[in-house]
Amino acid sequence: MFSYEFMRNAFAAGTIIAIICGIMGVFVIARNMSFLTHTLSEIGFSGAAFGIFAGWAPLNGMLLFTVVSSVIVGQLSARSERREAATSAISALFIGLGILFLSLANKNASYATSILFGSVIGISAADVRQMLWLSLLVLIVIFVIYRFLKFDSFDHTGARVKGLWTNSLSITFLVLLALSVSVAAQIVGSLLIFILLTLPAATAKYFAHTVSGMMILAVALALIGVWLGLVLSYVTNYPVSFFIAAIEAVCYFAALGWQKLQTAE
C-alpha cells in the first residue's frame, strides 16, 4: 500500500488533518460552533468551485472564501440570536454559488464529487507541503493565544468579566477554523469535513475532563478514523469519507451509550 506515492501522500495529509481537527474540534465543541463549522465547509465547497472556475488550485479558492466569510460571519453574529438565521442564509447563498461556478467551469461531474466527498488519489507532495505550512500556522496561533482562547471557550462569562478581548478572540478563532476547514477538506471533502472537526472532540468530552486531555483524545480518535479509513478505502475501493464518517459516528454513539450507562448506575 505504501509503495504508491499517492497513498503515502494521503497518509501524510490525513495525519496533519487529524491533528488539526482534533485540536480545533475541542474549541469548536466548547464554543458550540458545530453549525457554523458546517456552514464554513459549504462555503469551502463554493470556494473550491470558484478556484476551479478561475483556474486556481481548489485549496486557494477555499482559503479565500472561507477566510473572508468567517470574518463576515464573525461580525454578523456578534449577537447570538441572529447567528443561526444569518448563517443559514449565507450557507444557502454559497452552495448556490458553488453550483454555479462548477457549471461555469465546465468540468465533469467527477470533479464536483471529489470536492464534495474528498479523494485520496488527488493529493500531491506539494499539496501536503502546503497543508503542513497552513497547519503549522494554525497551531502556532493557537499556542500563542491558548490561555485566552481556553478561558473564553470554556467560560465565556468569566473571560468577559476578566476583560479579555473576547470579540477579537472570536474572530481570530473563526479565521483559524476557516484555515482548518480548507486544509481538512482535501481528503474528506467539504461535505463531510465538519465530521472530523466535531465528532472526535464531542466524543472526547465524555471521557476526558481537562482541555489537554480532550485534545489528546480527540486527536487520537481523529487519527484512528483517518488511518483506518484510508486503509479500508484502499482495500475495498469505497470512498474514504464514508469510512471516516462511519468510524467517528460509531465512536460518538458508543461514548453516548457509555455515558448513559454510567449515569444510569
Partner 1 sequence: MTTTPILKLDNLGVTFPNHPVFKDLNLTINHGDFLSIVGKNGVGKTTLMRTILHQLRPTHGQVTYLPDPNHVKIGYVPQFRNIDADYPLTIEDFVGLNLTGWKWPWLSRTERQAVREILKETGLEAIAKRPIGQASGGERQKAYLAQALVEAPNLLILDESTASLDPVTKTDLLDLVQELNQCLDLTVLFVTHDIPMARKYSTEYLMLTPRGAEQGPIAGLTQNKVWEGENV
The contact set with partner 1 (CB under 8 A) reads: 143-144, 146-148, 150-151, 154-164, 205-206, 208-212, 214
Least Å distance between CB 180 and partner 1? Answer: 18
Q: Which residue has the cell 465546465?
A: 106
- Residue with Cβ nearer partner 1 (100 or 208): 208
- Residue with Cβ nearer partner 1 (181 or 222): 222
Rounded alpha-carbon distances, angstroms, from residue 162 to 77, 101, 156, 166: 22, 46, 10, 10
- Residue with Cβ nearer partner 1 (66 or 203): 203
Least Å distance between CB 79 and partner 1? Answer: 16
Phi-psi region of 243 (alpha: psi -120 to 50; beta: other; left: phi over 0): alpha
Grid cell digits, residue 264: 444510569
- Residue with Cβ nearer partner 1 (146 or 238): 146
- Residue with Cβ nearer partner 1 (226 or 251): 251
Helix intervals (H) in the chain: 5-30, 34-54, 58-76, 80-105, 109-117, 125-154, 156-161, 166-188, 193-207, 211-236, 240-264
Question: Radius of gyration over alpha carbons of the chain, in Å?
Answer: 18
Least Å distance between CB 129 and partner 1? Answer: 26
- Residue with Cβ nearer partner 1 (91 or 203): 203
Helix H or strand E segment including 60 = helix 58-76
Least Å distance between CB 138 and partner 1? Answer: 14
Q: From the CB of residue 39, how many other CB atoms can be counted at a distance below 10 Å?
A: 27
Least Å distance between CB 78 and partner 1? Answer: 16
- The C-alpha atoms of residue 199 and residue 218 are separated, in whole angstroms, by 8
Rounded alpha-carbon distances, angstroms, from residue 125 to 12, 96, 122, 173, 194: 9, 32, 10, 28, 24
Least Å distance between CB 162 and partner 1? Answer: 7
